[in-house]
Amino acid sequence: MAIPRAARTQRKTRIQEERQELILEAALDVFSASGFRGSTLDQIAEAAGMSKPNLLYYFRTKEAIHRQLIDRVLTTWLEPLRVFDAAGDPESEIRSYIRRKLEMARDFPRESRLFANEILQGAPHIEDELKGPLKELVDEKAEVIRSWARAGKIARCDPYHLIFSIWSTTQHYADFDVQVRAVLGQANSGEGRFEDAARFLEALFMDGLRVR
């Protein structure tokens, strides 16, 4: 496969870096709205305010743009789980994880929808990452949760389904934001909805994990 000239440059100039970021920002808008299959290089070029040939100077294919975005999302999305500390207090760690995931839903809704679209398509571009590094990380943190349960610090639970439940409830506020705001109504759909969600989810999960 031919490599774009910008990618062959050993050290990118400031202008090249800015142009690449412009393309990635535009592509994030396009991919998060239309998914990978429904998006085209022409749409991305138009959103970036440049010609298609100019875009191809930086990225040869739609796949190359999408892959770079997905790699960034995976790195960002998994960071709160990476810092899940076995030596920490379970309640503090779980509450912090819930809040960080909600903050990401608030601050990175396009990234969340990009990732959701990839998963809904069967994860054709990231299946290896899901079965490799992501699974290894979740396995590691599942053992942390089991260790807390064995020590009597939290109730026994299935750690994988606990993690899945936190993912699904927090990312709902990004992927289904339009529905959330419509149902809450104008009076309750401001930025405060994330704090309301955090308090509710903290109570929900911590009550379920309390040792009886």
Out of 54, 70, 86, a domain closes at 70
199 and 159 within one domain: yes
Out of 70, 90, 108, a domain closes at 70
Q: And the tokens for 204?
A: 């929900």
Number of domains in the chain: 2
102 occurs within a structural domain:
yes
- Rounded to whole angstroms, the Cα distance separating 187 from 81 reads 33
82 and 44 within one domain: no
Radius of gyration of the chain (CA): 20
pLDDT at 2: 45
- Rounded to whole angstroms, the Cα distance separating 167 from 186 reads 26
What's this model's pTM, rounded to 2 decimal places?
0.87
The residue behind tokens 């819930």 is 98
pLDDT at 6: 53
User: In which domain, by residue range, is 48 found?
Assistant: 14-70
CATH code of the domain covering residue 178: 1.10.357.10
- Rounded to whole angstroms, the Cα distance separating 129 from 123 reads 10
201 and 115 within one domain: yes
57 and 130 within one domain: no
Neighbours of 101 (CB within 10 A): 23
pLDDT at 142: 97
102 and 19 within one domain: no
Q: Which amino acid is present at 50?
A: M
65 and 39 within one domain: yes
The residue behind tokens 């608030």 is 106
175 and 192 within one domain: yes
183 occurs within a structural domain:
yes
pLDDT in tens, 164-176: 999 999 999 999 9
Low pLDDT (below 70) residues in the chain: 1-11
pLDDT at 11: 67
CATH code of the domain covering residue 28: 1.10.10.60
**For every residue of the chain, which 3-state class applies, written as one string?**
CCCCHHHHCCCCCHHHHHHHHHHHHHHHHHHHHHCCCCCCHHHHHHHHCCCHHHHHHHCCCHHHHHHHHHHHHHHHHHHHHHCCCCCCCHHHHHHHHHHHHHHHHHHCHHHHHHHHHHHHCCCCCCHHHHHHHHHHHHHHHHHHHHHHHHCCCCCCCCHHHHHHHHHHHHHHHHHCHHHHHHHHCHHHCCCHHHHHHHHHHHHHHHHHHCCC
83 occurs within a structural domain:
yes
pLDDT at 44: 97
95 and 49 within one domain: no
212 occurs within a structural domain:
no
28 and 86 within one domain: no
